[in-house]
Structure 1
Amino acid sequence: MNAMNPPTTSSRRTAVAIAVILVLGAAGAFAILRGTEPAATKPDSHAHAGAEKSGGKSEHQHEDKPEGQHAHGKEQAHDDHGDEPQGEHSHEGGAHAANEPQQDLLKLDAAAAKTAGVTLATTGPAAIGSTLQLPGEIRFNEDKTAHVVPRVAGVAESVAANLGQMVKKGQLLATLTSPAVSEQRSELMAAQKRLALARTTYQREKQLWQEKISAEQDYLQAQQVLREAEIAAANAQQKLAAIGAGAGSAGALNRFELRAPFDGVIVEKHLSVGEAVQDSTAVFTISDLRSVWAEMKVSAPDLPFVRVGEKAVVHATAFESKATGVVAYVGALIGQETRTAPARITLDNPEGIWRPGLFVNVDLTASSQQAAVAVATAAIQKIEGDKPVVFVPVEGGFKAQSVKLGKADARNTEVLQGLSAGQSYVAGGSFVLKSELGKATAEHVH
C-alpha cells in the first residue's frame, strides 16, 4: 500500500534539489575541463596545418590567435633546439659580442705605427738585477786632502793664499818668522864650518903622515874628526829639511816659508798676518777636488750586497746629475750606536760638480738572476687601473696582451704568464699605443 501511494510534497522538493545540484556540478566540471584543455594539450602541428589549409577556424580560434601564435613560436623553438633554450640565448649573446669591437685591440696600419715611433723586439732570456738604494753624502777624498801645519812655532809675517784659491804644488802660502828655524840654520852653518876645518886638517895630517913627518895616530885622529863633522852637518841639514825649511840666507835665518804640498783648493784657512801659531796648528786645509768620496751608511741586512769593486751609480738629490764609480771601501765593524757600517765610493770630479756636503742616493746592483722570458721594462703599460699589458702585433694592428710579471730592474722585466720566448712585442712607442687604445675605448663607450 505504501508503495502505491503517490509521493508527498516534501519528497518532490528533495528530488528537485538533488537534480539541480547534479546539473550545476556537471556544468562546473564541463567548464573546468574546457578551460584547462589548451594548457594541458599541445596542438597537433599536422592538424594545425590542415586547419590553415582548409581555411576553417572557429570563433574561439579567431579570438585566441595572438596567444596561439606566440605559443606556437615557443613550441617550434623548443622543437628545433630541444631542451636547451639557454644555449640558444648564449649563442645569440656571443654573436652580439663578436660584432662589437674588442676593448684591447687597436687597429693601426704599418705607416701609422712607424709615424708613432713603434718599434718591435723579441722576448727572450735576460739577466735581471735587483737594485739597492742607499742614502749618502759627498765628502773630501781624504787620500788627497792635507791639513797644512807649519811644523815650527812662529808668527805670520805675510799670507799669500786665500780661501777657495787654486794652488799648485810648491806654491807659497805664507811666511813666518820663527826662532826655532833661526837656531837650526845657525846650527847647520856652524856644522858646515866645523866640517870645512876638519876636512882641511885631515888633508894636512894625511900629507904629513905620507911624508913620514907626523905619526899615524895624528892622521887617524884627524880622519875621525872629519867623519864626525860630516855627520853633524848632515844632521843639521836634515832637521831643516824635516820642517820644510832650506838653508836660507845669512840675513834671514828666522824666516820660514810655508808651501803647498800638492795641487788643490784651499778649503780652510786659519791664519792671518801677525798671528802666532804653534808647530801643530792646522793653518790651511788643501784638497784635490778632482776626486771625491761618496760616503754611505750600510745596515747589517744590506752588507752582503755591498762589496768592494762593485759598480754603483750616484745620483744628486738637489739637481739632475749622476756619476758612476766603484765601491772602494766597506767597513769591517758595525757601529754600536748606529748599527751600520761605513762604505764609500770614489768618484772622479774633473768639473767640480760633486761638492763636499752634497746629499746623494747611491744605487747598487744587489743581485742578478736569469729570467727565461723577459721584455724591456719600458714596454710595459698599465690599463684599467693597474692591469699590466704588453702590446703585441696582430693582423691589422696591435693587441694589449695581459701579462703576469716577476722580477724587474731598470732595463728588463720578467714575464711569468702571457708571453712566450721568441714572441714579437712592442718595445718602443707602447705609451702612444696605450693612449690610442684609451681614445678608441672612450669613443666606443659613447
Structure 2
Amino acid sequence: MAMSKQQRAAVVAILVAGLLGGAAILFTGKGGGSGEAGHEHGEHAEQGEHVDHDDHDHGHAHDKPAATPASAAAAAAAPAQAADQPHVIKLTPEQVQQAGIGIATAGSAPLRGSVDFPGEIRFNDDRTAHVVPRVAGVAQAVPANLGEQVARGQVLAVIASTALAEQRSELLAAQRREALARATYAREKTLWQEKISAEQDYQQARTALEEAQIAVQNARQKLVAIGAAESAGKDGKDGKGGSLNQFALRAPFDGIIVEKHLSLGEAVKEDASVFTISDLSSVWAEFVVSARDLDQVRVGETVRIRSTASESQAEGKVSYVGALLGEQTRTAKARVTLANPGMAWRPGLFVTVSVLGAATQVPVTVAADAVQQVDGSSAVFVAVPGGFAVQPVKTGRSGGKLVEITEGLQAGARYAAANSFILKSELGKASAGHEH
C-alpha cells in the first residue's frame, strides 16, 4: 500500500528521535564510567607515595611476579637439599655387608710419631762378593749363568792358567824333596843310634827334612791363597783327569749371580771382577739424614719400611748412621739391615723409611684406610641411620695403621674403616647425578 508524504515524514521523525535517544544514553553511560575510573585513579593516587617508595626501593621488581610465601620456602629449602644430598650415601645393611665395608669405633690409642725419609733398597755389602780369578788365564768353561742361584763351592768357571801350573809344579817338587829328606833322616837316625855314623850327619839330615817340610807348606799356602786345590784332578769339572793348569772358580757362599763378565775363551786378569754374587736373603735400606734430623735417627731405633711401588711393609732397626757429613750435601748416610726371605725387597726399589719415635696416647684415632680425600680435604664416612655421611676431619700424627683425628670426630663415633673407598666412589656418582 503506498504511503503518503505525511506518513513518510512521521516515520523519518520517529527514526531520528530514536537515534538521538540512543546516542544520549550512550553518552551518559560513558560519562559515568569515566567518573568511576577517575575515582579509582584518585584512590590509587592517594597510595601513590607508597607505590613510588616501593619502586624506589626495589628498582625493577615490579616487572617480575611477586613471590608467594610457599614459593619462597621452597626456594630456601632447595639449596640446603642440594648441598646435603651429595654428602649422604644411603645403603641398607645388606648392601653394606655385600660391599665388605667394615665399621669401627673411633677411640683412644697409643701412637708413635715418625719422621719419614726417602730411601732405596741396596745389596747388603756384607753378603755381596765380587769374584775374581786371582790367577791370570783363559776361560775353558763357564757353566754359571746370570741370575742363577748358586750354592757355596759350586763351580762358576774353569780357567787355564800357566801361573797355576808353575805353583803346582813347585808343590810337587817340594813334596818329592820332602820325601827324600825324610828317608835320609830315618837312615841317619838309625846309623847314629847304632853308633855307626857321627851325630853331625844325623843333625844335618834332620835340618834338611825340616827345610823340605817348610818348602812344602809354602807351596801349599800359595795354592790356598788363590783357592786352588793341590792336585789338578780335584779342580776339574768332573773331579778327575784335570791338568796342572786348570783352576776352578767357585762360589764363596750361597747367593744369586747378579753380574757376569766372563765368556768362554775369554782371557782374564787375576784381579778382574768376573762375577758378582749377592745373598739377597738380607738387604740394606739406605737413606740420607740431614743435620737437623740426626738427633731423631740413632742406631737401634725402630723403623718402618714402605714400598713406593706396592703396599709392602716391613719393620727393622737402624744398623748404621754415618759419623761424618758429606761436604757437598751436608747429610749423613744411614741404613737398615732388612730381612728378605721372600725376595720382596729387590735392590733398586725406592722406599719410604719412617723412623718411629716414642709412643703417645692419643684421644681420637681412626684406621688409616678410613681417611679419604673429598673435595680436596680429609674426610671420614660416619655411620648414620640408613647409610653413611661425609664428616670432614683434620688429621694429626700417623702411626701406620692408625691416624690421629684432631678435629671433626669424637671418640665413640662409628665410621667406615675398611673399603671406605667404595663409599667415596658412590659419593662421586651421587654428586654427578645431582648436577644433572
Shift of 1:239: 0.9
1:166 to 149, 155, 162: 149
2:414 to 419, 425, 428: 425
Residues 390 and 403 in structure 1, CA contact (< 8 A), matched pair in contact too: no
1:345 counterpart = 2:336: yes
Distance in 2, matches of 1:176 and 1:383, equals: 66
Shift of 1:304: 3.1
Q: Deviations over 1:338-357 (max 9, x none)?
A: 2222222334444544443x
Pair 1:351–1:153, CA change in 2 (3 A): same
Q: Deviations over 1:134-184 (max 9, x none)?
A: 333332222222111111222333333333333322222222222221221
Q: Deviations over 1:316-374 (max 9, x none)?
A: 43xx3524142332222221112222222334444544443x34122314434322343
Indicate the residue corresponding to 1:263 in structure 2.
254
The one-letter amino acid paired with 2:401 is: R
Distance in 1, matches of 2:130 and 2:335, equals: 21
Q: Deviations over 1:103-130 (max 9, x none)?
A: 6999999788777767665544322233
**1:267-416 correspondence to structure 2 within 5 Å:** 267-309=258-300, 310-317=302-309, 320-326=310-316, 327-356=318-347, 358-367=348-357, 368-379=359-370, 386=377, 391=382, 406-416=396-406
User: How well do the aligned residues superpose, as a CA RMSD in angstroms?
Assistant: 4.1
Residues 381 and 423 in structure 2, CA contact (< 8 A), matched pair in contact too: no
Q: Report the structure number with the largest CA radius of gyration.
A: 1
1:175 counterpart = 2:158: yes
The one-letter amino acid paired with 2:287 is: M
1:152 to 135, 152, 155: 135
Indicate the residue corresponding to 2:218 in structure 1.
235
Pair 1:382–1:171, CA change in 2 (3 A): closer
Indicate the residue corresponding to 2:41 in structure 1.
none
The one-letter amino acid paired with 1:195 is: E
Residues 323 and 347 in structure 1, CA contact (< 8 A), matched pair in contact too: no
Pair 1:332–1:105, CA change in 2 (3 A): same
Residues 126 and 371 in structure 1, CA contact (< 8 A), matched pair in contact too: yes
SS in structure 1 at match of 2:272: coil
TM-score, scaled relative to structure 1: 0.63
Indicate the residue corresponding to 1:254 in structure 2.
245
Name structure 1 gaps, 5 residues minimum: 1-92
Equivalenced residue count is 347
Indicate the residue corresponding to 2:196 in structure 1.
213
The one-letter amino acid paired with 1:343 is: A
Distance in 1, matches of 2:373 and 2:264, equals: 69
Pair 1:292–1:438, CA change in 2 (3 A): closer
Shift of 1:191: 1.1
1:225 to 199, 208, 211: 208
Shift of 1:292: 2.8
Shift of 1:252: 2.3
Residues 306 and 364 in structure 1, CA contact (< 8 A), matched pair in contact too: no
Q: Deviations over 1:189-212 (max 9, x none)?
A: 111111111111121122222222
Distance in 1, matches of 2:125 and 2:284, equals: 8
The one-letter amino acid paired with 1:426 is: Y
Distance in 2, matches of 1:179 and 1:340, equals: 50
Name structure 2 gaps, 5 residues minimum: 1-72, 234-241
Pair 1:341–1:203, CA change in 2 (3 A): same
Residues 136 and 270 in structure 2, CA contact (< 8 A), matched pair in contact too: yes
TM-score, scaled relative to structure 2: 0.64
Pair 1:249–1:139, CA change in 2 (3 A): closer
Distance in 2, matches of 1:238 and 1:148, equals: 20
SS in structure 2 at match of 1:311: strand
Pair 1:196–1:324, CA change in 2 (3 A): same
**1:21-40 correspondence to structure 2 within 5 Å:** none
Pair 1:150–1:433, CA change in 2 (3 A): closer
